[in-house]
C-alpha cells in the first residue's frame, strides 16, 4: 500500500525521498526490518496469548532427552511468521504483481491447513490432527492453483538471450544496454537445469508424443510437477520441525538463497552478466522473501533452545509450501534436492525406515530399522547428541548446500 501512496506523491507532488519506493532494494530492506520488529516485539504478546489459551504442545514420550519437559510449550507459533511476513508485504510490495498474489494466497492457504491441523490436536485433543488425506487434498489444491496461475497469467513470462552476432559481439555493448541481448517477452515452461551448459528444459517437451498440438496440453504435466514439489517440500519442512530452531533456521538459509536467485533473475543487468534466464516482474518477490526471512529470524528469537514456542503445523507446512512456490517461480525447482537437502534427508529417512521395517517384518517376521529413530534428527538424539549441537550442525550443512546451489549460477 505504501508503494502506491509514495508513487503518487512522487509523481504529483515531487515529494523528497518518495522515489526511494521505486527501488526493490529499499523496499526489501524496509520489509525485512518491519518483519523482524513485528516478529520479535509482537511475538512475545502472541506467545503470551497462546499460553493463556492453553495452546500447549502434547508430547508423546519417545525416550528422548528433555522431551517430556517440553510438554505444555505453546504451539501454533507459525502465526508469528505468517503475520510478520504478510503485514510488511502488504505495505511495501506491488500488490498487483502476479508473483506476490501467488505467494500471499499460498501463505494463507497453507497457513489455514496447518492451523486446522493444530486446532484439532490442541482443542479437540486428537494427537493425529487433520487426517493425512485432507492435508494432501489441501496441498494438491494449492499445487493446482499455483500451476495454473504460472501457466496462464500474462505476467509470467521470460526473456531469452538472443544468439545473433549483434547481441554477442561486444561485452561493452551488453554492459551499456543489457536489454539489447534479450528478445521479447514470451510465455514459456522452460526451467533451469543446474550444472549444465545451455541449461534450460522445457516441460512442454514431455508431451511431444501428443502430436503437433502438444503445447496445448503442456499445462497438465507442469501442474502435476508443481503439485508433487509443493507436497514433497511442505511435508519435508513438517518433518524437520522436530527440535528447537531446526526448521526455522534451515528454512531461513534456503529462503536467503532463493532471494539471491529472485534478485538475479528479476534484474536484467545481473541476468545478462551471469547468462541466466531473465524473468520480468519476478524481482518483486525479493520484498516477500525479505519479509519472510525477517519473520523466520524473529521467530528464532523465541524458538531456539530451550524453545518458548513451537512452530506447529501452522508454521512448518506454510514454510515448506512457500519455499516450493518460490523455487518454482524463479525456475530453480530442480535445485531443490540440493538447496533443500536437509528436508530431503528428513523425508528419505522416514521413507527408508518405514519401508525397510515393513520389508523385514514381512520377510523375517520381525521388523528391523536402519536408523535408531526417524526423522533423521531423532536418530542423532538417540545417539546422545544434544539437540543444540544437532541443530547447529544441520544449519552448517544447510549453509554449505545453499552456497553450492548459488554457485551453479556460474558452474555449468
Q: Is the pLDDT of residue 134 over 60?
A: yes
Q: Which residues are annotated as a binding site?
A: 238, 313
103: left (phi over 0), alpha (psi -120 to 50) or beta: alpha
pLDDT at 170 over 80: no
- Bridge pairing between strands 158-161 and 200-202: unpaired
Q: What is the pLDDT of residue 179?
A: 65
Residue 355 lies in a domain: no
Check residue 177 and give its pLDDT.
64
pLDDT confidence tier of residue 90, bands split at 50, 70 and 90: very high
Report the domain count for the chain: 1
Q: Which residues are annotated as a binding site for Mg(2+)?
A: 238, 313
- Range 307-322 average pLDDT: 93
With contact defined as beta carbons under 8 Å apart, do 113 and 143 qualify?
no
pLDDT for the residue 176: 53
Q: Are 318 and 110 in contact (CB under 8 A)?
A: yes
For residue 163, what pLDDT band results from cuts at 50, 70 and 90? low
Would 139 be classed as within a structural domain?
yes
Print burial letters for 289-323: b (CB count within 10 Å at least 16), e (below 16). Answer: bbbbbbbbbbbbbbbbbebbbbbbbbbbbbbbbbb
Give the pLDDT confidence score for residue 132 in this predicted structure: 85
Q: Is there a contact between 334 and 344 (Cβ–Cβ < 8 Å)? A: no
Question: pLDDT tens across 382-399, in order?
Answer: 999 999 999 999 999 999
Quick one: pLDDT at residue 169? Answer: 46
* Alpha-carbon gap, residue 20 to 25, rounded angstroms: 9
Cell of 257: 538463497
* 28-75 pLDDT tens trace: 999 999 999 999 999 999 999 988 887 766 666 566 666 666 777 888
Other beta carbons less than 10 A from residue 1's beta carbon: 10
Tens-place pLDDT, residues 236-277: 999 999 899 999 999 999 999 999 999 999 988 888 888 888
Q: What percent of the chain has pLDDT over 90?
A: 62
Q: Look at residue 84 and tell me if it is in a domain.
A: yes
In a domain, 407, yes or no: no
Cα separation, 376 vs 386, whole angstroms:
14
- Report the alpha-carbon distance of residue 390 to residue 244 in Å, rounded: 10
Question: Which pLDDT score is estimated for 181?
Answer: 73
pLDDT for position 27: 94
Query: What is the per-residue DSSP string for 228-268?
Result: HHHHHHHHHHHHHTTSTTHHHHHHHHHHHHHHHHHHHHT-H
Q: How confident is the model at residue 182 (pLDDT cuts 50, 70, 90)?
A: confident
pLDDT digits (tens, 9 = 90+) for 216-247: 889 999 999 999 999 999 999 999 998 999 99
The whole-angstrom separation of Cα 344 and Cα 406 is: 18
Full domain range(s) for residue 285: 1-56+69-335
| pLDDT at residue 168, rounded to an integer | 45
Q: What percent of the chain has pLDDT over 70?
A: 92
Residue 254 lies in a domain: yes
| Alpha-carbon gap, residue 106 to 121, rounded angstroms | 23
In-domain check, residue 393? no
- Quick check: is 375 in a domain? no
Identify which has the larger pLDDT, 360 or 210. 360
In a domain, 363, yes or no: no
Between helix 2-13 and helix 78-92 the angle, nearest 10°, is: 20
Residue 69, pLDDT score: 67
What's the whole-number mean pLDDT along residues 163-177?
A: 51
Mean pLDDT of the 11-35 span: 88
Q: Which region among 48-57, 185-194, 305-314, 333-342 has the lowest average model confidence (pLDDT)? A: 48-57
End-to-end CA distance of the chain: 41
* Amino acid 144: pLDDT: 97
What mean pLDDT do residues 182-194 have?
87
Residue 315 binned pLDDT confidence (cut-offs 50, 70, 90): very high
Contact present, 172 and 259 (Cβ < 8 Å): no
Report how far apart, in Å, the C-alpha atoms of 407 and of each of 255, 259, 323 are. 16, 14, 19
Amino acid at each position: 500500500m505504501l508503494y502506491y501512496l509514495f508513487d503518487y506523491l512522487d509523481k504529483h507532488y515531487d515529494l523528497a525521498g518518495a522515489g526511494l519506493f521505486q527501488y526493490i532494494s529499499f523496499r526489501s530492506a524496509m520489509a525485512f526490518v518491519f518483519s523482524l520488529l513485528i516478529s520479535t516485539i509482537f511475538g512475545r504478546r502472541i506467545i503470551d496469548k497462546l499460553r493463556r489459551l492453553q495452546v500447549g504442545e502434547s508430547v508423546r514420550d519417545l525416550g528422548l532427552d528433555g522431551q517430556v519437559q517440553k510438554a505444555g510449550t505453546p504451539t501454533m507459533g507459525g502465526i508469528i511468521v505468517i503475520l510478520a511476513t504478510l503485514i510488511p508485504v502488504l505495505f511495501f510490495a506491488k500488490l498487483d504483481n502476479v508473483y506476490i498474489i501467488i505467494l500471499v494466497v499460498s501463505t494463507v492457504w497453507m497457513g489455514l491447513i496447518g492451523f486446522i491441523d493444530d486446532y484439532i490436536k490442541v482443542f479437540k485433543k486428537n494427537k493425529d490432527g487433520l487426517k493425512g488425506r485432507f492435508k494432501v487434498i489441501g496441498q494438491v489444491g494449492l499445487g493446482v492453483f499455483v500451476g495454473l496461475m504460472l501457466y496462464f497469467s500474462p505476467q509470467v513470462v521470460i526473456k531469452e538471450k538472443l544468439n545473433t552476432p549483434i547481441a554477442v559481439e561486444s561485452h561493452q555493448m551488453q554492459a551499456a544496454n543489457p536489454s539489447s541481448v534479450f528478445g521479447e517477452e514470451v510465455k514459456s515452461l522452460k526451467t533451469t537445469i543446474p550444472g549444465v551448459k545451455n541449461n534450460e528444459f522445457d516441460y512442454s517437451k514431455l508431451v511431444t508424443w501428443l502430436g503437433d498440438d502438444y503445447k496445448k496440453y503442456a499445462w497438465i504435466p507442469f501442474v502435476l510437477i508443481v503439485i508433487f514439489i509443493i507436497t514433497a517440500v511442505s511435508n519435508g519442512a513438517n518433518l524437520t520441525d522436530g527440535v528447537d530452531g531446526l526448521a526455522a533456521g534451515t528454512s531461513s538459509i534456503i529462503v536467503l538463497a532463493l532471494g539471491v536467485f529472485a534478485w538475479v533473475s528479476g534484474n536484467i543487468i545481473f541476468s545478462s552478466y551471469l547468462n541466466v534466464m531473465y524473468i520480468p516482474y519476478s524481482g518483486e518477490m525479493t520484498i516477500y522473501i525479505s519479509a519472510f526471512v525477517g519473520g523466520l529470524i524473529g521467530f528464532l528469537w523465541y524458538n531456539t533452545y530451550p524453545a518458548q514456542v513451537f512452530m506447529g503445523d501452522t508454521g512448518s507446512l506454510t514454510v515448506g509450501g512457500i519455499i516450493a512456490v518460490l523455487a518454482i517461480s524463479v525456475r530453480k525447482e530442480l535445485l531443490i534436492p540440493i538447496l533443500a537437502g536437509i528436508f530431503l534427508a528428513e523425508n528419505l529417512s522416514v521413507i527408508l525406515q518405514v519401508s525397510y521395517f515393513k520389508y523385514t517384518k514381512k520377510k523375517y517376521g520381525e521388523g528391523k530399522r536402519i536408523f535408531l529413530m526417524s526423522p533423521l534428527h531423532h536418530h542423532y538424539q538417540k545417539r546422545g547428541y544434544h539437540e543444540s549441537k544437532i541443530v547447529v550442525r544441520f544449519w552448517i550443512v544447510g549453509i554449505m548446500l545453499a552456497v553450492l546451489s548459488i554457485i551453479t549460477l556460474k558452474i555449468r
